[in-house]
Chains A and B, each alone.
Chain A
Amino acid sequence: MRPAVGLLALLSHWRRHPFQLAMLLVGLSLATALWSGVQAINAEARASYDRAANVLGLDGLPRLTMVDGSAVPLARYGDLRRAGWPVSPVIEGPLPGSDLRLIGIDLLTLPTEARLMDPAALDLQGFVAVGGEVLVPAGAAARLRLPDQPRLRETADLPPGIALADIAQAERILAAPGLSYLLLSRDAALPADLPADLVLARPAAGEDIARLTDSFHLNLTAFGLLSFAVGLFIVYSTIGLAFEQRRGVFRTLRALGLSAAALTGLLLAELLLLSPAAGVIGVGLGYLVAAVLLPDVAATLRGLYGAEVPGTLGFRPAWWLGGLAISVAGTLMAAAQSLWRLWHLPLLATAQPRAWAHQAASGVRWQAGVGAGLLALACGLGLWGVGLWAGFGLLAALLLGAALILPLILHALTFCAGRLARGVLAQWFWADTRQQLPGLSLALMALMLALSANVGVGTMVGSFRLTFTGWLDQRLASELYVTARSAEEAAELTAWLAPRTTVILPIWSAETMIEGQPAEVYGMTDHATYRDNWPILLGAAEMWDRLAAGQAVLLNEQLYRRGGLALGDLVDLPGGALPVAGVYSDYGNPRPQVIVATDLLVARFPDIPRLRFALRVDPAQSAALAQEMRAVFDLPEAAVLDNTRVKAMSLQVFERTFAVTGALNVLTLSVAGVAIFASLMTLSGMRVVQLAPVWALGLTKGRLAALDFARTLVLAVLTLVIALPLGLVLAWALLAVVNVAAFGWRLPMAVFPADWLALAGFTLLAASLAALGPWRRLARMAPANLLRVFSHAR
């Protein structure tokens, strides 16, 4: 037999079952869409990190700073160069009036590893000339208003958030008192011992943005994988059904001379024809998903890690090809079992369609055994696992284990319900529900995964929101926050404010290296505002007094956990180490932070800008005072903020940060809804055989259809009931294991029963929509279709 003839015979199945074909394409497209959407986002972000790494490659190089944390004097740099030190000067600081960070470099001495951008794209003369141009990211020039506006040139080669200038130009713009640091080549040989006034900092592994954000991208990938798996459930069940329905055709083709290998090959060819088509649709949908979600992802990365990613999506051929490949691979994965069974199908095997997804009781028990093993593994990882990978291993084992064990639990529940039922219809209802489980279990597993992910992530975000709101109230205890434009203005402001406020609290900070990581050091003035409100997690005796006396420091939770520090441990700071007296929560900040007394900060970092202040005033007067301050000093709107506005802004950033998670949650739930719909529609053909005898024995079609509808709802609700505790365990794993490893903070867990009710409503709605089609089909079925069941010619 010519293979093409066989292939046409096989393909004719899809012509006669267009709905099945549609479900196959829908399942595969959705699976590919969510997977490739997430991959597109990750690819865009990583490309952005790569560009940043070219600039921030500076961060990857060793650097010399002054021991006391002050700026490096220009003369000191000259001395070192003359002594043969291969150092290159850098001035770095926030570009006034913008959200950009200006980096000033000396192109002539810059180490080759820190080549910032394509030299061809750099106009050397324009860059190094006196008053040379400042390079800014595309789209940034229009927003910039600098004093003595320098020439700005936009370039796509710079990452977002970075501006670049010659060191002389940067010194002028930033009014820098000296050099920020001196760069060294990665493997540079030092000509002499390190002078006593300098300190050499080698960047620790894992400090760059790409590494920091790995956990976030892993999170997204895990969601993408979950959605992909949920989509593949649809593909698996559709292919399984199509194979089962064609057993007669397979037998005939084999009898007519097609070998098992040739038949398997033809089915493989059929799948390879269909899957790229679905892949193209899926990748297109994925692009749309990514384009919609990317701005929120960019906000998340900025909010959590300070990483800058553009909010628009580029075109990447590798990603398109990758999407198609995953579509084909997913199809082959979903079809592997069916192909394997076909390969081993005896020629004379029965061609009678049987319950395609029927699994022997031993199969369900074996599956549940594997599930129990995975749950035990999850327990082990929860109790003894350490680090991010242990956290993700825990999540994977938990979800997969619970999914595998679900059919057995549902079987047991429906069995018990049947035993408790009194009426004949109720008994039949539960027995029949149990009989439907093998055919529906894949879709129900998909639903459970989606629901538990929803509960887990929802609980995590809700707990975070609750903690974050309370934390903001503590951190933003002062009524007003003001930022001066210069030291002179700061002095005038404080003098003017002194009689109008209860207290003026400086918010001054310096940047330095602590425990090998770039960190912030903040000064804190001894005042009840902090003693009463600061969100302390751990505190030693007389913590505030020791802090005020300059005898101890406070650490943020991130530094405390990542550094493995304890109360009383010494923390190295420029000018001498100090013991840890307390730990405070510092959500949303990616960087390590230390708090010292303001006097100590000024003593050890004498060159820090002293421009920001928190003001305690009568809350009823704060708005009027802010307005008056702006008017008297001609301050821009953003220079004076009241705490309610800062809180609102922070919460807005928070909500945006988790919008992407919410969107992926809803998409995954929707795919699970489609999976149930696909399963019910494919099963409804087989249901006729099971329902016709009951109809013949005296039940109306309407009543049967209503019972079938109720069955879907009952199974969905049972699945939700099982998914709830699973979701809470998931939330615990996210809060207590994954978040701690990924972000460095641990949040208290809160539960939100109102959200569960909403989720129950959504589940019932999704199940109702999925069951509506089969319900209508059965309720309106012509008697002739039911009578075929009793026909002799079957």
Chain B
Amino acid sequence: MLLLASGLTKTYRTGDELVRVLDGVDLTLKAGESLALTGESGSGKSTLLHLVAGLDSPDAGRLVVAGTDMVQATDVQRAALRRDAVGLVFQQFNLIPSLDIAANMAFQARLAGRLDLGWLEELVQALGLQGLIHRYPEQLSGGQQQRVAIGRALAGRPRLVLADEPTGNLDEATGDAVMALLLQLVAQAGAGLLMVTHSPRLAARLDRRVHLAAGRLHTVEPLA
């Protein structure tokens, strides 16, 4: 099992009030499987994604990602997991502004010490970034930046790709194109995919869909 979560809880303090964002979440994901996570704004989708990525830690419950127990893991172990096993795609792209596109795409794979230049070149071709690799993020459009972010997430051949509203900042046509590429390349890399999205249309393109409401997950049956 690539991802195993059970009884996950997470509480935030907002002013004087304690808000339980996740209240006993159970979730599994197998290698090569794709899962859409939907929910209203503020329902805790991103929080769940951040816990899985090791960017934050749960208050209680069990969470194992790619064989690492995230509840027991130290800061260093979580950083190692992110570097070695996880690819992250954010809505805001979050590229490194001081590096050019080529360096951005190779960054995480080089950090993990497994840059495969052939695979990187394949990604550049597939993402249509050939003419842009010496530019800087600020010189690219939103769609182009998100393609770079996908390339960065996949360059190290991670076991798990986590995508947080990857098309949320893009128009529909660009979003569809980026989504198609993401699914194609994740499948090609043999990785699992957990994607947060508002869009039922995009969610429908993944293997499974779960909905987060009132801090709990509900499985959504595919339409027809």
Contacts and interface: CB of A to CB of B under 8 A. Distances in A.
A697 B152 CA distance: 10
B97 A698 contact: no
Contacts of A98: none
B96 A698 contact: no
A434 interface: yes
Nearest to B74: A700
Contact of B111 (A424, A431, A701, A792): A424
Contacts of A423: 110
A784 B55 CA distance: 9
Contacts of B141: none
15 contacts: A424-B103, A424-B107, A428-B98, A428-B107, A431-B99, A690-B98, A696-B94, A697-B88, A697-B107, A700-B75, A702-B75, A783-B50, A789-B94, A792-B164, A792-B168
A432 to B, nearest CB: 5
Nearest to A436: B98
Interface string B103-114: 100111011100
A337 B214 CA distance: 51
Interface of B: 12, 41, 46, 50, 53, 55-57, 75-76, 79-80, 82-84, 88, 90-92, 94-99, 103, 106-108, 110-112, 152, 164-165, 168
Contact of B90 (A425, A698, A703, A790): A790
B111 A790 contact: no
A790 B80 contact: no
A698 B108 contact: yes
B83 A698 contact: yes
A242 B153 CA distance: 36
Nearest to B90: A790
Interface of A: 423-425, 427-428, 431-432, 434-435, 690, 692-703, 783-784, 786-787, 789-792, 794
Contact of B55 (A434, A699, A786, A794): A786
B35 to A, nearest CB: 19
A794 B164 CA distance: 14
Contact of A792 (B46, B75, B95): B46
Report whether over half of chain A's contact residues are helix, strand or loop; otherwise say mixed.
helix
Contact of B106 (A424, A432, A693, A703): A424
Given A431-B98, A698-B80, A783-B55, A790 B108 contact: no
A658 to B, nearest CB: 45
Question: Ordered nearest first, which 10 A-B pairs have the shortest CB separation?
Answer: A698-B83, A424-B110, A431-B98, A435-B98, A693-B94, A698-B82, A700-B79, A697-B108, A432-B98, A783-B56
A694 B108 CA distance: 9
A435 B96 CA distance: 11
Contacts of A783: 50, 55-57
Contacts of A425: 111
Nearest to A693: B94
Given A424-B110, A787-B55, A792-B91, A434 B98 contact: yes
B100 to A, nearest CB: 8
A690 B97 contact: yes
B95 A693 contact: yes
A273 B57 CA distance: 47
Contacts, number: 93
B55 A693 contact: no
Given A696-B53, A700-B75, A790 B92 contact: yes
Nearest to A703: B79
Nearest to A427: B103
Contacts of A701: 75
Contacts of A784: 12, 56
Nearest to B96: A693
A701 B82 CA distance: 13
Nearest to A425: B111
Contacts of B41: 792
Contacts of A695: 79
A521 B95 CA distance: 79
A702 B74 CA distance: 12
Contact of A696 (B55, B57, B91, B168): B55
Contacts of B168: 792
A696 B111 contact: no
B98 A792 contact: no
B214 to A, nearest CB: 20
Nearest to A789: B94
B14 to A, nearest CB: 11
Nearest to A783: B56
Nearest to B99: A431
Nearest to A355: B97
A432 B136 CA distance: 13
B53 to A, nearest CB: 7
A787 B103 contact: no
Given A790-B50, A792-B92, 4 more contacts: A693-B94, A698-B82, A786-B55, A794-B92
Nearest to B149: A693
A546 B21 CA distance: 103
Given A790-B92, A792-B165, A794-B92, A697 B98 contact: no
B66 to A, nearest CB: 13
B89 to A, nearest CB: 11
Contacts of B56: 783-784, 787
Nearest to A701: B75
Contacts of A690: 96-98
Nearest to A435: B98
